[in-house]
């Protein structure tokens, strides 16, 4: 999802944000930009027009998550400054992302260890012809 640099400069009084020009610097970028769909979302009381290659329903769900996070921070007595609320929301979401990545890596390690153990047992039981059944998943 991209909101370009223009979204960063949207003021609190603005009801709409421009996502900037559709001019392309390269043929690949031009193709990518043409494949983006415009979607209007509302986050923390502001309406944004964003362009995304994702399904519009997914884009709306992403915006809902950000909106919920920002409203939750504001409801906890945080600063009324929307910029500060956005930064705190970004920090919380980044923390959650890192936690999930760490969890994913732990699961991947456990799965690889189990795969290796199963492969070793199969090789022990049936020789080397079973080695191709479990290619490395790294």
Domain ranges of the chain: 1-78, 95-138
- Asked whether the beta carbons of 8 and 87 are under 8 A apart, the reply is no
Cβ neighbours of residue 62 under 8 Å, at least 6 residues apart? 1, 54
Q: What average pLDDT values come out for the chain (138 residues) when binned by 10 residues? A: 43 39 61 84 98 97 98 88 95 98 98 95 75 59
Q: Global pTM?
A: 0.64
pLDDT (0 to 100) of residue 136: 61
State the pLDDT at residue 83: 95
Q: What is the C-alpha R_g of the chain? A: 23
How many CB atoms lie under 10 A from the CB of residue 63?
A: 20
CB 76 within 8 A of CB 85: no
Say if residues 19 and 6 touch (Cβ distance below 8 Å): yes
């Amino acid at each position: 999802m991209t909101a370009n640099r223009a979204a960063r400069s949207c003021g609190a009084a603005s009801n709409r944000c421009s996502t900037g020009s559709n001019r392309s610097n390269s043929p690949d970028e031009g193709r990518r930009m043409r494949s983006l769909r415009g979607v209007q979302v509302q986050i923390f009381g502001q309406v944004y027009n964003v362009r995304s290659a994702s399904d519009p329903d997914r884009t709306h769900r992403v915006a809902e998550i950000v909106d919920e996070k920002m409203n939750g921070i504001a409801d906890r007595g945080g600063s009324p400054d929307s910029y500060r609320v956005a930064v705190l929301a970004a920090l919380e979401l980044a923390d959650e992302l890192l936690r999930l990545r760490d969890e994913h890596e732990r699961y991947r390690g456990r799965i690889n260890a189990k795969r290796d153990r199963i492969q070793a047992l199969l090789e022990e039981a049936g020789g080397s012809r079973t080695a191709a059944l479990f290619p490395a998943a790294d």
